[in-house]
Structure 1
């Protein structure tokens, strides 16, 4: 239970808010798509701040997950800790439960627990983002493919990856509607 609470707290650290405060930029939660993620920071403030946001959001789960690995938690236990990180990112208590979409955070959790799945999803995301120039489409396709890739490379973690994917897909409901209408912002 303490690791789940620690996971939520670490997940609720929004990298974009920290990066923008340190560089005296306006809070991205009130500009652009109003999402505190790397894609919005990229559109608003450029690639350097977006990369910093991505790194924070991807790596913030590692300390608590490493503790779980040292304690030799089973895949489902590590998965619960990972889900708590994602829930903290999506629903941070100190931001009125309005957070990000968990793409970078899910990547970071998977990079530690199932690195092959994470890297294939990241390659898929990068290729699609480059080709269609829309972060939401790249995120949706990568999240949808993650459980299938997990079945192939990390079957013990497939249920965990399914939960991650469902959370990411659910957080993109508005984006799905905008993509259908052709109104989704481009990178």
Structure 2
């Protein structure tokens, strides 16, 4: 087996394991805030932590989730792996966040993790997507809308700015869209809500659109563990 293949497999495995470390859960535990899966929307992500616990733990969550895949991606770049091999390593980080080994497969939407991966693989695309996300979230008061719009625009931006990465970024965007499938289904059923006006920053990926009965079911499963 070629050495590059072995390196890719090793880094992809490490990427999945590092991606499985959910920043929201660890930050909330360290700060004594409880399990974010039992608060707000029940999503273990940056925006739910912001809504439920404030900007300080949310910022720490964002830094961890965006940064946890950077070491393996740096190693992938240093090893001069192909674009698709580096993309596989990045995808493994997102899969780890979405279906984490450490948390019985109950992960987040992979938006912050995707931002961190893009910073390493396609920095201009990541920065533009970040600006677009915050502007859209501020304007429409629904972070899920911002996440979906950004996921759809990222492949177009990559085709323009970093063409070699456009195929890889299409895969990343597809995963983010799949993770937001419930939000899409909710819109189709015309049951959309808006984030509470009291929020200065509209940074909730799920609260605007989650079906409370489904969240209650998730909490019951957690209580039974």
Across the aligned residues of Structure 1 and Structure 2, the Cα RMSD in angstroms comes to 1.1
1:183 to 2:170 alignment: no
Question: Following the alignment from structure 2 to structure 1, what is the Cα–Cα distance between the partners of residues 129 and 158?
Answer: 10
Question: Following the alignment from structure 1 to structure 2, what is the Cα–Cα distance between the partners of residues 164 and 47?
Answer: 27
Match of 2:208 in 1: none
Match of 1:117 in 2: 125
1:42 to 2:50 alignment: yes
Match of 1:13 in 2: 21
1:143 to 2:151 alignment: yes
1:88 to 2:96 alignment: yes
Match of 1:107 in 2: 115
**Cα deviation, residue 93, structure 1:** 1.8
The size of the alignment, in residue pairs, is: 187
1:126 to 2:110 alignment: no
Contact 1:178 1:184 in 2 (8 A): no
Match of 2:4 in 1: none
1:98 to 2:106 alignment: yes
Question: Following the alignment from structure 1 to structure 2, what is the Cα–Cα distance between the partners of residues 116 and 48?
Answer: 27
Gap change, CA 1:94 and 1:184, over 3 Å in 2: farther
**Cα deviation, residue 123, structure 1:** 0.7
Contact 2:21 2:102 in 1 (8 A): no
Question: Following the alignment from structure 1 to structure 2, what is the Cα–Cα distance between the partners of residues 174 and 26?
Answer: 25
**Unpaired segments ≥5 residues, structure 1:** none
1:76 to 2:96 alignment: no
- Relative to the length of structure 1, the TM-score reads 0.97
Provide Cα deviations, 1:89-113, integer angstroms capped at 9, x if missing partner: 0001222211000000000000111
**Unpaired segments ≥5 residues, structure 2:** 1-8, 197-201, 203-225
**Cα deviation, residue 175, structure 1:** 1.6
- Relative to the length of structure 2, the TM-score reads 0.81
